Structure formats: structure tokens, C-alpha cells
Amino acid sequence: MSQDVSFGRLESIGRHQIMSGWLSSKHPLRHMDLSLFTAALVAAGIGCVAIYSATRPSLLALGRDPNFYLKRQLAFLALAMVIFVISMLFDYRQMKGLAPLVYLAGIGLLVLVLSPVGHTTQGAQRWITLGILQIQPSEIMKLVLIIALSALWADKGANSGLGRVVLAVGIAAIPAGLIYLQPDLGTVLVLVFLAFSIVLVAGAKLRWLALLVALGAGVFVLVLHLGLLHDYQIKRLTAFLDQSSKNTAAYNLQQSRTAVASGGLTGKGLFRGTQTNLDYVPENHTDFIFTVVGEETGFAGSILLIGLLSFLVWRALRIAMLSKDQFGSRLAAGVAAMLAFQLFINVGMTIGIVPVVGIPLPFVSYGGSSLLTSFCAVGILMNIHMRRFI
Amino acid sequence: MNIMSQDRVHLRLAVLGMVFLSLVVALVLRLWFLQVLSVDSFRKLADQNFVRVVPKLAARGRILDRNGQVLVDNRQSLVVTVDRSSVATTDSKNKLHLTPKGTATMSNLAQLLQVPVATLLDKLQTTQVGPVTPAPVATDVTKDQVVYLEEHQDEFPGVSYVQEPLRDYPNGSFAAHALGTVGIYPTATDKNSGARYNGYSPGTVIGRSGIEYAYEQYLHGTDGFIKYQVDASGNVRGILGTQEPKPGDDVVTTIDKNIQTLAEASLVDGLSKARTIYDKVSNRDYVAPAGGVVVMDPNNGQVIAMASSPTYDPTQFAVGITSAQYSAEFQNNPAQPLIDRVTQAQYPPGSTFKVVTSAAAMTEGIANPNGGFACPSQVTLYNQLFKNWQASDSGTISLQQALIQSCDTVFYNFGQTFWQRFRAGQGEQLQTFARDFGLGSPTGIEIPGEQPGRVPDDAWLQKEHKANPVAFPYNIWLPGYTILMAIGQGDLLATPLQLADAYAAIANNGTLYQPELGMKVMDVSQTVTTVTPKITRHLPVNPQALSVIQSGLKGVAVQQPLGTAVGAFIGFPFDKLSVAAKTGTADINGKQPYAWFASYAPADHPQYVVVVMLEQAGHGGETAAPIARRILEGLFNLPATNIAPAARTD
């Protein structure tokens, strides 16, 4: 059947209502959340500037092209735009059916990373090299898990039982375990948080949620006691607990904190961060990118960036509330949790309130996989938002 | 409910939102703390990170004589250093033990530098630099040797070189005690010197004795620096600023190079001549191991020359002395060349003290300046026999004659009267005068280590008796102490500088000056700061007394046949130059006599005071006076005569 609505016809085909006439009031194109996209793009822009500032002096000192990392990040950004557009084109509800396939593919990639094909850097096996490109499957896995977990619960039918929760734990545990083996503790933490957030929004009873929290704490203690943490991970934990200790991890922490703090209220000025420019903060174009912002733009700039990313989280939660179905809510909540926890952990570790675990700051850190994943996530959010009337 | 109602979903989303909000708030609070509240301390930390300050050491000021001749200079030297931790291990006693690799390195180095391995190893044990600083093992190496080192780094791990400013002594051991020695900052004692070395960089040359030490703040310039911008690997990325060092000021001393040279040569010559004299009392030749000479300007206290023998070459300390060398040449050397016999050696002044006794006796009314005094060959006082140095009786003589002949018995009587006054509660008048003349306390000359001498009195005796009852069994001040003090014997001690200062006060009619070695300080821009003469006190001696003493001293060298210095001044052109003088011979238990001679000239408008002291070299007129004669000849351009031992007198 069809009904006339202004500027077009609304037709029902099966369970779906399809727009005809692209200027009708319910057409997805008319319900984009432009502020969401703008905020993400501005954050990415800040990231490019920060990456340029962080890497230019060292590259110059080495006699290399000062724009090396900037150029690559801009290329990734261009690719991310493409991914973004693609992720808006289809109806997100179609992912529900594809979820198991997507999940298996993700697991497959993770296994590939751990296999001899995987590429090791600095003692961690996190990448697969395809030609000149390196992809980090653990980044992709975050989105994959969001989709898989969100798809676990149906919109109608048996939902809040223990069974689903157990299944959710199982589905989350496999990639978490594989990623843990790389080792990449940071991403494991993010997966755990976003899984918990999705289970929460899915409607699990409070007692199961409490059980999950207890389970998590138990696993953490077990890991510490069984010595399942690597040496460097223990060093990082010690450095966090006692920030005056004498190991390299503590030194890096002090340098990072000093860099951010020395920015003061308004920062030392763009491209004038002495700590970051002179290599006193390691990984300052990737995990510790925030120190560049902190040192060069000070409290003002730091709050601005955090505000921008928080804005994205808020928009994601809003989209979760506005979503037509609960699948969309869970997807959006998962994305919100992913962004929020990554923001908190990444910035927190540069300023010393979270132990150092290597995770990137979404949109800002240098790295293709992270940038692509983040914009894909924003694309999915946009997708949900656009189709909330159909 | 199987399906979550929208409200419940919204509730849970809200809960999630609250959690996220609290995380963000935590971040903001922490950032506020870091970037706003604590920004200053972190800014300082950040700056310390990337700024490296490398000091540019300032050149040390030179030391010149009063006429501008350079006495101490600087020069550049290539010094080979060895990082001790690369070649050896240190045991608990801080002794180094070479590793096998270290042994090979050191023997290679010995071959290259053409010095014995043992010498290098000894230099390794140096204490002149801190334990972490590379030890200088060879100075003044050639450029070729350094080039070889650099080209064969693998044969010499831990070996490097530096170009160092070295203290240069173009005149060798000239005025060593006055000029002083240098060392490298810091050693352990330097660290305990309070604010003296504030702002000094390690490796700086600093003065350790003499003028080098006393005028350190002028000689040491202001170090400059280069501020480097450094990255995390220590690579230099740029220069943030420089400041040129300001060279130290030159110090012009009161010393006259020619007169000092004359004094040193005369002293050495005189001592060697003394050693040829046979002393029948001790049944051997005079030992004469050491002595001191002071030439002073009595009108302002400036020290024109001060010589001490035996002496040493300060260059040894500047280039780095090994501990073995130091032990052998200085510490365990019985001659003790580091001791400055002018300011650091104290002896009973003997008859030279009689001028003080005379001044005291006349001022306190014991002696009539125009009176006559009995001079027998001996007196018995308090059941004790006190002998004159002459066996014959001289009858009644004036006070001037008492000085010319150095008649002990006249002065014993003065001593007896002083003791009686002490007993009667009128105070220790002789001691008071001794102190007025500057004895018993340091003169205040700028250089460190000056000894105060001693004026013994009742209080001193009590203290010594309490501390050392075996050596000082009586705590009663006996008459003999004062009687002997009257002729400058006993526990009375003076340094040659104190004696020169006292005689200068007599020469200039009663002003006791503080002796000075520094005349002026000149900085690079030729700005001059003059050291002004300081008066310690005006002698509380009446002018008539002074004039009696002066006329007495005038006869000592010239009045035949009884003047105690006449023998030494035979043929001296007194028509051209009148000399006032006093001989003295100190008796010390178990040692041969110590010879003293104090003089000034011209007697009526004095320009110079010359004091000579020789250890275990006989009598003042015999061995000390000839040295002074030679110096006076040089001072006044009189024909030079050979130093020869003269007649033995008082």
C-alpha cells in the first residue's frame, strides 16, 4: 500500500517502508545530523595539525620530508570520507542479518594477525601488512563487536534472560582473548567497556549486570596474580601507581604530564611545544597526541578538544534515544561507549590518572585503521539518525 | 516484560550518559590541576629538560710584581685524561685495581706518551679531581700524540683529552710561598667552604695558598656559558644563548721581582755558608736547614720581598701532582718545604726582642732614658745565676750601649722589676708591650696559614699546666720566666714577619702597620682598585723612648769594637748609608742556636726593613747579619760583597 505524504509517496514493501521521491519529509537525506559530521571532521582536522606539529621537527632533524606523516594522515582522511559515505548508503538494519558473517571475518583477521603473516612492531603483533598499507584488525574488531553484540538481541521476543548475557560474554570473550594475546591491553579494555554498555542498554537485569562487574574484577585480579601480564605492562602499572618510580615507563609518564602541564592556560603556541617537538614525549603522534594539544594550546585548547569529542558522544547517545528500533539504540550506545572510553583512557593516560595502555585518540591520533574505524562508526550513527522515521 | 520499553531504554541510556559525563569531568578536573594550578612547577621541569648549560670557563687573572712584571701567568696545555671507571675498579679503601683491559690500555698509553706505566698509574690515583671526573694523567702532550689517540680510539677506551688552561710560573720556584699554589675545584674540603665557591664550575683552577688563595675572588673571573637546546637523545638542536666569560682581574703584588730574587739568592747562599761553620757546643757543623727573609716598607707595611728556604716549584701543583710525589717531596720530607718560614714558623726572637723590653722599661718608668745601667758579666736573681753573653764586665752603660752590645744583664734587671710589679698586682707589663708590638697574634697579612706566635703569661701557664702537668709541672709564674723573656728567650715565640712589622713600627716612629702583599687589582678594562695601607695601632711608647732605641740601633753595625753586628759589616759604606740593626740568637732545647737579624735603612728616613732568620745556624751576627748586608747592598745599589760568616757575638 502506499500513502501520499508531502513531497513524495511512502510505500510499504514487506516490513519496510520505502521512500519514493527523495525530497519527501521522511527521506533519510533530510535527516542527517550535520553537527555530528562537522564535529568529527574538525576533530580530525585538529589531529592533522597536531600530527604535523609533533613530527615536523624530528623529521627535519633527520633530513626527511617534514610533511611525511601529515600527508599520510590526509590520505587516510580522504579514504575515511569514502568509507563514511558508504556506511550511510545502506540501511543499517541490513547489518543485523550479516552480523554473524561480519563477526567471523573479524575473528579471522585477528587470527591472521597472530599467525606468521602478522607484522610485529615493538614486541606487539598487531598489524597485517597488505602492500604498503598496514591494517590493525583490533581497531576494526571494535565496530565488528558492536554490530555483533547489538544484533544478539531481537527487537521482539525473548530478550532479557541470562542466556543472552552469557552468549554476549562469550561473543566478546573470543576477540578479547585474541587481542590480549597480541598483546593489546588497551583495546581489550575498550571492548570490555563497550560490551558492558551494550548489554546494559539491551535490558539485562540489574543482577546480571552486577554479576558481570564482579566477573570483570575477578578476572583482573586473577590476571595480576597469575602473572599473565607482560613485564612492560606491569612496569606501566607500577609507574602509574607510583609516579616517582625510576623506570622508563614512569619517565615517559612524567614527560607526558610535564608537557601537558607546561602548556598552562593558553599553551606555548602552535608548533612551539618544546617537550613534544624535541622528542621528550614518545609516540607523540600516535598514542600521546594529546600532549601536543595540551602543550601547544594549553587548558583552553585541551578543553576545546575534549568538548568536541564529548559532543560526539552526546550526539551518539541522542541518536540512541531517537533510534527507531532497539538495534539502532544498541549500535549507537556501543559507538558512544567506544568513543567515550577511548577518550577517557587516552587522555587520562597522558595526564597520569589512567595507567598507560596503548590506545589511540579517535579522529586525532595518527593511524589509518583508527581513523577509518572512527569515521565508519560516525557513518553508522548518521545512518541510524537518518532512518529514524522509516 | 520481554521487550524493553522506550522509557527503560532511555533510562539506561541516561545512566550511560551520566557515567560518560563523570569520566569527562574527571579529565577536566585533572587538566585544571595540571595546566592551571601547577603550571609553574611543570614549566620549570619542562625547561630543565631541554636546556643544557655548558660553562665557558673564565681565564684566571695573572699575578704581577709591583712594577708590572708577570710573576704568574696562564697557558694552554693539552691534557690526556682517563675515565677511571673504564680501566679499573675501586675497592672499599678507594684504591684502584686495573682490569685486564685497563692494563692493556694503560700500557698502550705509556708507549704512546713515552712515560713509564707506573707514572701514569700513579696519576690515576689523583685526588685533585672528583671521583667521577676523568683523571688527568699527562699534561703538555703534543698535538701528534692527541691526533694518534683520536685516530686509534679502539686501542684506548676511556682515554680522552682536554685543552686546559694551566697556571704558568715563568720564574719557577720564585716567591712560591707568597704567590701560592693552585688546584682544581672541587675537592672535599672545597665543598665545606661555605659560599666561597658559589657559582664555580667543576674543573675550575682555584688558589689553595698564598696570594692565589687570598685574592681568589679577584683572580677568578666570571664564567660564561652556552645554552644548548637538546632533544631527548641528547642531540643538540640549537643554541639558545651565550654569554662570554669575563677574565679574572690581575693582581699586582707589593713584591719587587729584583729584590725578591736577591733575597732568595742571598738566603740560600747564607744558609750554605752557615753549614760550613763548626759548632763546638754541639760538636758538629751547623745544620742550617731552613730560614726566612722579609723585606718590608716601614711607611705602609708593604712586603717588598719574602723568601723562605727550602722552597718548591708551584708548577708541580698546577700540572697535577701524584700522591706518591706529594708524599715523597712534601709530606714525608723532613725539610718541610711547604712551610713558609716567614709567616708560619715561630721561634723565640732572642735579643731582637730587647727593643720591646727597652720600650716597655722606659715607658713604664723602670728605666730612665738618659740613665746608666750596670752591665756585669752575670747577675744572681732569686738565687739563680743569669749570665751575659760576654764574659767581661762592661761597667755602667747607657741604654743605647746596652742595645749596641746586647748586654743581657741590663735586661735581666728590667725583667726582674717587671716580675716584681706583676707580683705586686700591677699587671704583666712586659707581656702587654709585647702584644702592643704585635707579638702573640697574627699580623693580618692576607695570605692564609699565618701563625700567631706566643706571648706567654700567667694565664697561659695555668692552662698549659692543666692540660699537660708532666711538661708543665709548676703553675706558678716564676721570676725566671719574665727575666728570660726580657732577653727574648723562653716560651716567647715570634715569626719573622711579626719581627719585621715591629721593627717597622720603630723605624717609622711608632705606627704598627698591617703587612700587605696585595698592592692593586686591575681588571680587563684597566680599572684599578688600590689596596690601602691599614694601621693596626699606634705604639703606646713615648717618643723619647723611641728615639733612644733608634739611636741605639744605629750603632749595632757600625760602632767598633762592641757592636754585635760590626763583624758582619766590615767595609760597609756607612758614609753612604746608615743602617739601624739588632742581632739575636735564640736558644731552643736540644737544637743548635737560631740566628736572627733585624735591620732598617737608611736609619734616619727608613725605606726598608730587612729581617733574616736562620734555623740552627748559629748566632745572629755570625750568619744572619751577612745575608742582610748583602740585601741592603742590593737595595741601595752599593757594591756587592760576598756573604761570609762573621764573628760570633750575642
Instruction: Report the gap between the CA of B33 and the closest CA in chain A (Å).
Output: 8
- Mean pLDDT of the region B203-228: 88
Whether the CB of B11 is below 8 Å from some CB of chain A: the reply is no
Residue A17 clears pLDDT 60, i.e. is over it: no
Which chain A residues are within 8 Å of B17, Cβ to Cβ?
Answer: 314, 317
Task: Supply the pLDDT for residue A54.
Answer: 87
Which chain A residues are within 8 Å of B35, Cβ to Cβ?
Answer: 260-261, 263-265, 294, 298-299, 302
Q: How far apart, in Å, are the Cα atoms of A344 and each of A250, A311, A338, B8, B168?
A: 20, 14, 10, 26, 67
Q: Check: CB of residue B367 under 8 Å from CB of residue B373.
A: yes
d(CA B525, CA B538): 38
Instruction: Report the gap between the CA of A131 and the closest CA in chain B (Å).
Output: 32
Geometric angle at alpha carbon B335, from B334 and B338, rounded to 5°? 110
Instruction: Report the gap between the CA of B51 and the closest CA in chain A (Å).
Output: 10
CB–CB of A302 and B31 under 8 A? yes
Instruction: Report the gap between the CA of A337 and the closest CA in chain B (Å).
Output: 8
Greatest mean pLDDT range, A111-120, B299-308, B319-328: B299-308
d(CA A326, CA A334): 12
d(CA B117, CA A2): 108
CB–CB of A280 and B231 under 8 A? yes
B125-180 pLDDT, tens digit each: 776 666 666 788 888 888 888 888 888 888 888 888 877 778 889 998 999 999 99
For residue A152, what is the enclosing H or E element? helix A137-152
B333: exposed, middle or buried (C-beta count within 10 Å: 0-12, 13-18, 19+)?
middle
Q: Higher-confidence residue: B45 or A163?
A: A163
Whether the CB of B32 is below 8 Å from some CB of chain A: the reply is yes
CB–CB of B20 and A310 under 8 A? yes
pLDDT confidence band for A7 (50 / 70 / 90)? very low
Contact residues, B window 193-232, toward A, CB-based 8 Å cutoff:
229-232
Residue A12 clears pLDDT 80, i.e. is over it: no
Task: Supply the pLDDT for residue B539.
Answer: 95
d(CA A180, CA A168): 18
Contact residues, A window 280-319, toward B, CB-based 8 Å cutoff:
280, 282, 294, 298-299, 302-303, 306, 310, 313-314, 317
Residue B198 clears pLDDT 70, i.e. is over it: yes
Q: Check: CB of residue B623 under 8 Å from CB of residue B392.
A: no
Task: Supply the pLDDT for residue B557.
Answer: 93
A30-89 pLDDT, tens digit each: 778 899 999 999 999 999 999 998 888 877 777 778 888 899 999 999 999 999 999 998
Task: Supply the pLDDT for residue A227.
Answer: 67
Of B2, B230, B235, the CB nearest to A160: B2
Which chain A residues are within 8 Å of B15, Cβ to Cβ?
Answer: 200
Residue A13 clears pLDDT 90, i.e. is over it: no
A96-121 pLDDT, tens digit each: 888 999 999 999 988 888 877 766 66
Task: Supply the pLDDT for residue A347.
Answer: 94
- Mean pLDDT of the region B316-333: 81
Of B3, B10, B43, the CB nearest to A264: B43
Whether the CB of B35 is below 8 Å from some CB of chain A: the reply is yes
Of B3, B10, B15, the CB nearest to A321: B10
Establish how many alpha carbons lie within 13 A of residue B219's alpha carbon, considering only the half-sphere containing its beta carbon: 29
What is the pLDDT of chain B when averaged over all its residues?
A: 89
Q: Check: CB of residue A352 under 8 Å from CB of residue A243.
A: yes
As a three-state string, the secondary structure of A300-362 is HHHHHHHHHHHHHHHHHHHHHHHCCCHHHHHHHHHHHHHHHHHHHHHHHHHHCCCCCCCCCCC
Residue B420 clears pLDDT 60, i.e. is over it: yes
Of A302, A320, A326, the CB nearest to B4: A326
As a three-state string, the secondary structure of A41-104 is HHHHHHHHHHHHHHHHHHHHHHCCCCCHHHHHHHHHHHHHHHHHHHHHHCCCCHHHHHHHHHHH
Mutate to test the interface with B, among A252, A258, A272, A305 (most CBs of B within 10 A): A258
Express as a percent the part of chain A with pLDDT over 90.
37
Task: Supply the pLDDT for residue A124.
Answer: 64
d(CA B321, CA B338): 14
A364: exposed, middle or buried (C-beta count within 10 Å: 0-12, 13-18, 19+)?
buried
d(CA A253, CA A346): 12
Q: Where are the alpha helices (DSSP H) in B584-640?
A: 625-635
pLDDT confidence band for B2 (50 / 70 / 90)? very low
Residue B631 clears pLDDT 80, i.e. is over it: yes
Q: Check: CB of residue A3 under 8 Å from CB of residue A20.
A: no
Whether the CB of B10 is below 8 Å from some CB of chain A: the reply is yes
Q: Higher-confidence residue: B50 or B620?
A: B620
Which chain A residues are within 8 Å of B231, Cβ to Cβ?
Answer: 58, 61, 278-280
Q: Higher-confidence residue: B121 or B633?
A: B633
Q: How far apart, in Å, are the Cα atoms of B254 and each of A8, B296, B312, B502, B503?
A: 114, 9, 21, 19, 19
Of B20, B34, B49, the CB nearest to A260: B34
Instruction: Report the gap between the CA of B238 and the closest CA in chain A (Å).
Output: 11
Task: Supply the pLDDT for residue A156.
Answer: 61
Q: Which three cell numbers stand for residue B618?
A: 748559629
Q: Higher-confidence residue: B276 or A117?
A: B276
* Residue of chain A nearest B32, judged by CA positions: A299
The DSSP code for B621 is I
Express as a percent the part of chain A with pLDDT over 70.
83
**DSSP per-residue string spanning A116-130:** TTEEEETTEEEEEEE
Indicate the residue type of A144: V
CB–CB of A279 and B231 under 8 A? yes
Residue with cell 743602617: B579
d(CA A367, CA A358): 13
The residues facing A121 across adjacent strands are A124
Task: Supply the pLDDT for residue A90.
Answer: 87
Q: Which three cell numbers stand for residue B340?
A: 713558609
Which chain B residues are within 8 Å of A298, Cβ to Cβ?
Answer: 35
Residue A314 clears pLDDT 60, i.e. is over it: yes
* Residue of chain A nearest B27, judged by CA positions: A348
B361-404 pLDDT, tens digit each: 999 999 999 999 999 999 999 999 999 988 889 899 999 999 99
Whether the CB of B51 is below 8 Å from some CB of chain A: the reply is no
Whether the CB of A60 is below 8 Å from some CB of chain B: the reply is no
Express as a percent the part of chain B with pLDDT over 70.
97
Q: Which three cell numbers stand for residue B325?
A: 710525589
Count of beta carbons in the 10 Å neighbourhood of residue B276: 10
d(CA B474, CA B284): 35
Phi and psi at B26, nearest 5°, equal: -60, -45
Of B16, B232, B235, the CB nearest to A280: B232
Of B8, B10, B27, the CB nearest to A348: B27
The strand pair at B63-64 and B250-253 is best described as parallel
Residue B330 clears pLDDT 80, i.e. is over it: yes
Percent helix, percent strand, percent coil in chain A, to nearest 5: 65, 5, 25
Q: Higher-confidence residue: A324 or B455?
A: B455
Residue B248 clears pLDDT 80, i.e. is over it: yes
**What strands lie across the sheet with A8-13, from one edge to the other?**
A2-5, A8-13, A16-20
Percent helix, percent strand, percent coil in chain B, to nearest 5: 35, 20, 40
Mutate to test the interface with A, among B2, B20, B22, B41 (most CBs of A within 10 A): B20
Whether the CB of A342 is below 8 Å from some CB of chain B: the reply is no
Whether the CB of B237 is below 8 Å from some CB of chain A: the reply is yes
B34-69 pLDDT, tens digit each: 888 887 887 777 777 777 777 777 889 999 999 999
**DSSP per-residue string spanning B235-261:** -EEEEEEEEPPBPPPEEEES--HHHHH
Nearest to A144 by CA among A387, A380, A361, A386: A380
CB–CB of B36 and A265 under 8 A? yes
Geometric angle at alpha carbon A188, from A185 and A193, rounded to 5°? 130
Count of beta carbons in the 10 Å neighbourhood of residue B541: 23
- Interface contacts (A, B; CB < 8 Å): 146
Gyration radius of chain B's alpha carbons? 34
Task: Supply the pLDDT for residue B454.
Answer: 96
Of B13, B28, B35, the CB nearest to A201: B13
Contact residues, A window 116-175, toward B, CB-based 8 Å cutoff:
155-160
For residue B408, what is the enclosing H or E element? helix B408-423
Phi and psi at B503, nearest 5°, equal: -70, -30
- Mean pLDDT of the region B446-457: 95
A218-276 pLDDT, tens digit each: 888 887 777 667 777 777 777 777 766 566 677 777 788 888 888 888 888 887 777 66
Of A265, A306, A326, the CB nearest to B24: A306
CB–CB of A329 and B13 under 8 A? yes
Whether the CB of B1 is below 8 Å from some CB of chain A: the reply is yes
CB–CB of B34 and A314 under 8 A? no
Q: How far apart, in Å, are the Cα atoms of A7 and each of A20, A30, A120, A389, B17?
A: 9, 12, 56, 15, 37
Task: Supply the pLDDT for residue B1.
Answer: 37
Nearest to B128 by CA among B315, B273, B298, B319: B319
Q: Check: CB of residue A308 under 8 Å from CB of residue A39.
A: yes
Which chain B residues are within 8 Å of A292, Cβ to Cβ?
Answer: none
Chain-centroid distance, C-alpha A102: 18
Residue B549 clears pLDDT 80, i.e. is over it: yes
| Contacts of A122 by beta carbon, 8 Å cutoff, 6+ apart | none
